[in-house]
Structure 1
Amino acid sequence: MLRFLIILGIVVYVFYKVGSFFFRAGAAAQELKGYKQKEKAASQAKKNKVKGGDYVDYEEVK
C-alpha cells in the first residue's frame, strides 16, 4: 500500500510539473501574440495618418 502511494505521489508530481511547463509556454505564446497585434495596429495607424503640408494645385473659379 505504501508503495502504491509513493508511486501515485510521484506520478501526480510529474503531471503537475509537466502541466505547469505547458501552461507557462502557452501564456508566453499568448502574450507574444497580443504584442504582435498591438505592434501591427500601431504601424497601421501610422500608415493611415495624413501628412500635413502637402501641396495641392487648384484653380480659382471667377
Structure 2
Amino acid sequence: MTEILDLLQDKRTAAREGPDPAATARQHKKGKLTARERIERLLERRAPGERGDRRRR
C-alpha cells in the first residue's frame, strides 16, 4: 500500500512541476503554446471578479 501512495505522490509532484522542458520547446518550435500557457492567458484577460459570476438561466 505504501508503494502505491508513494507512486501517487510522485505523480502529483510531477503534475505540479509542469511539462517536460523538451516538450515545451517542441510546442514553441511549432509556434504553439502549452495548455498551461493558454489557460494562463485566458485567465489574464478576464477582469477581476469575473470568474464564476455568470448566472445560469
TM-score tier by shorter-chain length is: 0.3 to 0.5
Larger Rg: 1
Higher percent of residues as helix: 1
TM-score between the two structures when normalised by the length of structure 2 = 0.35
TM-score between the two structures when normalised by the length of structure 1 = 0.33
